[in-house]
Structure 1
Amino acid sequence: MRLHTKLALGLVVLGVVSIGGYRIVQPMLDNASQASVSDVGAKGSIHIGVDGWVGYFPLCSPEMKKNLNREGYGLRCTDDAADYQSRFQLLKSSEYDFVVATVDSYLLNGEALNYPGPIITVLDESKGGDAIVARQSKVPTLEALKQATDVHIAFTPDSPSHHLMKAVAAHFDVPVLREKRRHIESEGSEAAYAKLVDEKADVAVLWEPEVSKALAKPEFVRLLGTEDTQQLIVDILIASQRVIKQNPDQVRSLLKAYFRTLKYYRENNAGLVKDIARHYDIKKSTAEELLKGVRWITMSENAEDWYGVDHQRFSSEALVRTIESAGDILEDNGDFSRSPIPDEDPYRLINSTFIKEMYGAFGNTGGFTKPGASKGATPVRFDALSPTQWNQLKAVGSLKTRQVKFSSGTANLTLAGKEKIDEVIADLDHYPNFRVEVRGHTGLRGNADANIALSQQRADAVLRYIRIAHDLDANRIRAVGLGGSKPLKRRAGESSRAYNYRLPRVEIALVREVL
């Protein structure tokens, strides 16, 4: 090929590339130029990594963009389809200014990156959006699942529903939920639901709208859902270390705009439904169903209940307890060999500065709270029941049994025994809607009547300790002595000595009204 021909071809190729590059780059330049001479983002743009969970909608909504613009910032939300590893890596590299996550996903995926930013606010809790559903003929109850050996479970790995599955495995001691050979990993709730319907799975961990679809069929039953949990699946907002150190005004502005947005949607539910339907391209009726599975956390609730910054009143510091609980669940399920919390200090993952500032500025003046204040989590009230009514309650399942120690041959709790009860109550705190039955058991030896009496005394002792130390509603709990009438199943190859050692125990069983 002659030189001038080569040069001509080169110029043609260069022209094509230039035109293509111009078409790609010029809109970006035009957009930047337009933004620079408009009211959008006078102070710059805030970039947030999110996914499609409806609980994150207010953070990236049209109302949020309007409120943040008043603070001088533009807003860019990137949906990464729940790729947590990339999300936290981009937070560490400052590509993202903020990211959303669940507490458990941050512990699970952030540990390898030394946790690239602190939690600056709690966004929401899942309330009914996730549930464990089973084929009733195979697994009618959670207690039946505890005893099951030949079942398969469909679920979406590393999803909030997966964390519900891990929590139930840890809190109720359900071995089959930990057995990987029984797992059927699925790409999303719809795929897990299809496995259940096609009888390829006996149990499926789902989220809406598949939960409602499954429960509409008589052959399926809900074993446990997040409507009966608290402080378990909790969504949080994390700020990059760079933003915290170099641009704290950005954090303040983002939070101010966010809580204004929450207040607007609390007062304008029709607008919320409309905006969600438009955003997800769904019917308004579907949007209303989605909203039943989420409870957003207000600024005041963040300060008073989750961060504990109001020193004038008692606070449970729920965020600290949620972090600790999530760490325990992940460790119990084998995700970590030890606690993933740095130095086992959850405060290293939290920055309460900005919530504290906002609470001081707005909390006592009604800002962001009224009118249209959040209803919050209303404590469950329990009516007194007769023994007959108690006996008619439906069993949910027994929490993981700890060896509660008593002084030999007595009903006197030892210090070690009280510590074990404290561990059980930490699990119980996640399930506020159920009544509690303290069940005392003895071994098989000795006089049956004496065994029943001793087991009742021990159950009573545990109940008294729980009532005094943990302030449980007296109408919510009762004690029952069963003696040796309901022994545990003997394990394959278990020696008589080991078996007899396990029989004396105190169970904390959850029960509910039959609906």
Structure 2
Amino acid sequence: MKKVTIVFLVLIVLFLVAGGVFYFRASRAEKQGFEGASNTGRIKGDVKIAGDNYIMYWPLADSSIFEKNLRQEGWLREWTDDGGNYADRLAKFCAGKFDIIVLPVTEYVFHGKDCNYPGVVVVALSESSGADSVLAYRDAILGSDTRDPQVNDLNNANLKICVTPQSPSERVIDIGITDFDLDQLKGTNSWMVESNGSSDALKRFQGGECKAAVLWEPDVSRALHMPGVVEVFSSAKFKEYIVDVFVVQRSMVTGDLDKVTSFFRAYYKTQQYYVDNPEEMLDHMEKSYKGMDDPPFKNRDEIRKALDRAVWFDAEDNCFDWFSVDVLGISYDQRREKMAETVSRVTRLMMKSGDLLADPIGGNPYMVTTRIADTSKGEQLDFITLLCREMLQNITTPGASVLVERQFSKVTDEEWEKLSVIGKMTIVPIEFRSGTSEMTDTGRGAIDTEAVFALRNNYPDHRILIKGHTAYSANDRDIRKCGEAAENILLSQMRADETRSYLISAHQFDPNRVRALGVGSCDRLERYPGEGDLSYKSRLSRVEFILIEDS
């Protein structure tokens, strides 16, 4: 009996040892990617990626689905969160410590110049659509006025604004300054209360250190629950400025295509999985954030709201819109190359705001991103075209990502009056022949180069009120009597009408989108600080573009 027991025990021990060995080998095999790994079936190395805790980076940082998909491609993920320190991220990227970084394209243009842009923007990851916002205490910018806040209400040098320097939040303020002529904020930072990230800006805002703040999610949602706080301006109001991108080392794009292509295959496979299973994505994210010591999101609702304030770009968006790839069966002329345009635009933005003293790309966006090959001319295929042809091999016609301008419904003048004003844009110097509504070539050129692109591409979802003004005449020196100068009212209306007609006829703007209104000299124009009479007088006769939002 004892011998049987001993034999039985020995068999159990041997079984347990064998099971342990099998489990160890199976676990090791899974870790090394033996199951489903491409090519050799073995792990080829690590993909070193750097970013921060921005919600749209979560799949790269902490998704087990992405980790599995990348492992099946034969690679392991190595993620670094630098807390939003873009300068440090770029310094390490320049030193070759990361293969791929994710960050806003503005910050790559700004920080990458210090080491001559060692990487290439190859994919647009996402775009902020309300995730970055300027908020203020209502009474600080409007007093007792009951109307909705406008961007121009921020034009007050005495208004303290909490901002995180050299971050997307500073770029939102830069957009306000340049696109809406916030002249009192130009050339000085006396209004800025420097903050160390959005959470710090929110604390200062709550403590009264500033009366306005530029925040990002989840702090935007938290601030909007504070009594008396209103949203003045957000990234939901404009497009193609706050765009997050993948930047890949040039040496990888030219010499290690397998690694780069494997990475994006895994990434897009992960994205499609979560698009098909959104609640599972929320489950994974909620579990992931709960395990952090200081989670950026406290609950599922905060995660959902933050995701709703961003646009996640897929392979079609990138191939058809952002890079205008020459995909078989698709006319090249059907699409814009939005990435190159965005690089140029944000560079001009930072030059106008003073963040850049000179153009670091010399007017050439392809220092930062890739020029797509023109296969009709027999050019060698570039990496993005190769990637797109693999990702979209079954697509022969463009999907919803192809640019289609919004169609606006017709509204009456009374309905126009009830719509919300976003803000008055920086004045475009449209020139007319003296005393007439005849637009000069210079005037048409100003519209072509300074107005059309912004109105069509950066603010495509807004109606436009074209407001004509004239200088004061002998009959209306007193602003209270301006209505008596009928000739000024008529001339300003004719000029506004002419501007509207030019946008419609020459640039195919939707007629329902644009309204013309002449006010003569009835609307005062604020003087710039220290501005002389002659300079001020020269600006009085003007045409303004005012952005209007549908209710």
- TM-score for the superposition, normalised by structure 1: 0.87
301, 304, 312: which is aligned to 1:285? Answer: 301
In the alignment, what sits opposite 1:430? 458
Letter in 2 for 1:272: M
Question: Matches of 2:515 and 2:320 in 1, distance apart?
Answer: 31
Q: Which residue matches 1:295? A: 311
Please state whether the residue corresponding to 1:206 is helix, strand or coil.
strand
- TM-score between the two structures when normalised by the length of structure 2: 0.82
Equivalent residue of 1:138, what SS?
A: helix
Shift of 1:151: 0.7
**Among 336, 343, 359, the residue aligned to 1:316:** 336
The one-letter code sitting in structure 1 at the alignment partner of 2:365 is P
**CA offsets 1:400-434 (integer angstroms, 9 cap, x no match):** 11211122332222232223223123333322332
Contact 2:136 2:229 in 1 (8 A): yes
Contact 1:154/1:196, CA 8 A, preserved across alignment? yes
2:44 aligned residue:
43
The alignment partner of 2:74 has SS state of coil
Q: 2:80 aligns with which of 71, 78, 81?
A: 78
How has the CA–CA distance of structure 1 residues 100 and 255 changed in structure 2, closer, same or farther, with 3 Å as cutoff?
A: same
Q: How many residues align?
A: 480
- CA drift of 1:490 comes to 3.4
Unpaired runs of at least 5, structure 2? 1-26, 143-148, 291-297, 373-381, 476-484
Query: Judging changes above 3 Å, is the alpha-carbon distance between structure 1 residues 280 and 469 closer, same or farther for their aligned structure 2 residues?
Result: farther
| Aligned match for 1:265, one of 274, 278, 301 | 274
For residues 58 and 388 of structure 2, the distance between their equivalents in structure 1, rounded to whole angstroms, comes to: 23
CA RMSD after TM alignment: 2.6
Residues 459-498 of structure 1 mapped to structure 2, 5 A cutoff: 459-491=496-528, 493-498=530-535
1:510 aligns with 2:530: no
Q: Which amino acid aligns with 2:452?
A: I
Report deviation, 1:214: 2.1
Who is 1:22 aligned against? none
The offset of 1:93, in angstroms, is 2.1
**Equivalent of 2:471 in 443, 449, 458:** 443
**1:237 aligns with one of 234, 246, 262:** 246
CA contact (8 A) 1:153 1:177 kept: no
Structure 1 contact 162–205 (Cα < 8 Å) conserved: yes
Write the deviation string for residues 217-275 of structure 1: whole angstroms up to 9, x where unpaired: 34111111112221110000011122123211111111111111111110010111112
**Partner in structure 2 of residue 114 of structure 1:** 116
Give the C-alpha shift of residue 354 in structure 1. Answer: 2.9
1:377 deviation in Å? Answer: 8.6
CA distance in 1, matches of 2:79, 2:508: 44
SS in 1 for 2:134: strand
Contact 1:400/1:424 (<8 A) preserved: no
C-alpha separation in 2, matches of 1:378 and 1:431: 14
Q: How far apart, CA to CA, are the structure 2 residues paired with 1:143 and 1:163?
A: 14
The 10-residue stretch of structure 1 (111-120 or 460-469) with the greater mean CA deviation from structure 2: 460-469
Q: 1:329 is matched with which residue?
A: 349
Shift of 1:69: 1.5
Deviation at residue 506 of structure 1 after TM alignment: 0.6
In the other structure, the counterpart of 1:419 is 445
Aligned to 1:400: 426
- State the match for 1:149 in structure 2: 157
* Aligned residue number for residue 246 of structure 1: 255
8 Å CA contact 1:251, 1:354 repeated in 2: no
Deviates more, 1:374-383 or 1:197-206: 374-383
Q: Which residue of 2 aligns with 1:186?
A: 195
Identity among equivalent positions (%) equals 29
Task: Tell me which residue corresponds to 1:162.
Answer: 170
1:453 aligns with 2:514: no
Partner of 2:392: 363
CA distance in 2, matches of 1:124, 1:64: 17
Mapped partners of 1:147, 1:154: distance in 2: 15
Distance 2:368 2:48 in 1: 21
Conservation of the 8 A alpha-carbon contact between 1:302 and 1:355? no
